Amino acid sequence: MTKDKEEDVKDEGKDKGKQEKKKIKQKKEDQEAKIKELTEILQRVQAEFENYKKRCEKENSEFIKYANADLIKKLLPILDNFELALKDCRAKDDFYKGMELIYSHLIEALHSQGLKHIECVGKKFDPYYHEALLTEESDKEKNTILEEMQKGYLLNDKVIRHSKVKVAKKKKEEKKQGDTQEKEEKSLSGD
């Protein structure tokens, strides 16, 4: 072979080598881009899965926290009857003391499950916690709870029964005094 042909063959080989290098480099870049894309997808899926696990754990803990709610709601009327019976019982004999002891154990058991009485007498009416059954004229500030008609309860800070209450309203005398003053003013002005 001649020198020119040898150089042409070498140049062709170099060109083919360069093309192969370019192809390999391009393939490597494509694979790296694909790896990066798949890594990002994997990280998103992992984050979504972690969020899913946390959500499931929260739902399970909420379920466990309020699993007894239906049973406790069914026990509340029994608790009310127990309280009425103890309140109306005149004889303070051994039977009464035994019933009182059973009642205190029942209350203790319900408290251990997260049941709390809603304290309301003397406080402002709050529709989130209270249900107004009656209103009564009073010297107390308007919307002050005067009497608890039926106890309300919270189960782990969630209302399971609203307190049924009697609420204070303004006295009519105050309203009448205001009306009387208006009439006197009108009569003086000559209307």
Evaluate whether residue 151 is within a structural domain: yes
CATH code of residue 143: 2.30.22.10
Q: Is 169 left (phi over 0), alpha (psi -120 to 50) or beta?
A: beta
- If one counts every other C-beta atom within 10 angstroms of the C-beta of residue 105, the result is 10
Could you give the number of structural domains in the chain? Answer: 1
What's the pLDDT band for 69 if we cut at 50, 70, 90? confident
Q: Is residue 42 part of a domain?
A: no
Q: What is the pLDDT of residue 175?
A: 54
Domain region containing 156? 67-170
Q: 110 falls in which pLDDT band (50, 70, 90)?
A: very high
Give the tokens for residue 116.
């709390």
User: What is the average pLDDT score of the chain?
Assistant: 84
119 assigned to some structural domain = yes
* 147 against 94, higher pLDDT: 147
| 11 confidence band (pLDDT: 50, 70, 90) | low
- Please choose, from the candidates 104, 140, 107, the residue with its C-alpha nearest in 3D space to the C-alpha of residue 125: 140
The answer as to whether 145 is a domain residue is yes
Residue 130 lies in a domain: yes
Residue 181 pLDDT grade (very low, low, confident, very high; cuts 50, 70, 90): low
Mean pLDDT, to the nearest integer, of 52-64? 90
Note whether residue 104 is domain-resident: yes
Has residue 148 been placed in a domain? yes
Q: Does residue 120 lie in a domain region? A: yes
Chain CA centroid to CA 12, Å: 76
